[in-house]
Amino acid sequence: GAGVSQSPSNKVTEKGKDVELRCDPISGHTALYWYRQSLGQGLEFLIYFQGNSAPDKSGLPSDRFSAERTGGSVSTLTIQRTQQEDSAVYLCASSLGPGQGQEYFGPGTRLTVT
């Protein structure tokens, strides 16, 4: 079946511009996660959604970052006034529920801020 999809696969933007990254989780998965991976680094947790509960935003690095999940499905990660240090691969993952089994990761969106 279909896995987690993300769009765009690559995004180049100028410093100071806003960007939106999209994640389509696996159908029926109630948990959705965003991670960031800078070049050569491990995964950095950003935000976690579970059903209709308030999201865990504890990993968001600054107030320029926000995310929403509409209808318990698609999620959008928004970065306002992008900075060069925001350049990274942004990964989305989903799972059946909070901690239920493994997370399925999407291919990621490679963001480059020039």
Partner 1 sequence: DAKTTQPTSMDCAEGRAANLPCNHSTISGNEYVYWYRQIHSQGPQYIIHGLKNNETNEMASLIITEDRKSSTLILPHATLRDTAVYYCIVRVDGTGGFKTIFGAGTRLFVKA
Give contact residues for partner 1 (rule: CB under 8 A). 4, 33, 35, 41-45, 48, 50, 53, 56, 58-59, 91, 93, 97-108
**Shortest spacing between CB 8 and partner 1, in angstroms:** 15
For residue 78, how many other CB atoms are within 10 A of its CB? 13
Nearby residues of 83 by Cβ (< 8 Å), 6 or more positions away: 15, 64, 113
Q: Which is nearer to partner 1, 86 or 103 (CB)?
A: 103
- The phi, psi pair for 84, rounded to 5°, reads -60, -30
Q: Which is nearer to partner 1, 37 or 80 (CB)?
A: 37
Q: Which is nearer to partner 1, 16 or 28 (CB)?
A: 28
Residue type, 57: K
**Shortest spacing between CB 41 and partner 1, in angstroms:** 8
**Shortest spacing between CB 75 and partner 1, in angstroms:** 15
Q: Which is nearer to partner 1, 49 or 113 (CB)?
A: 49
Would you call 86 helix, strand, or coil by DSSP? Answer: helix
14 with 51: CB under 8 angstroms?
no
Residue type, 1: G
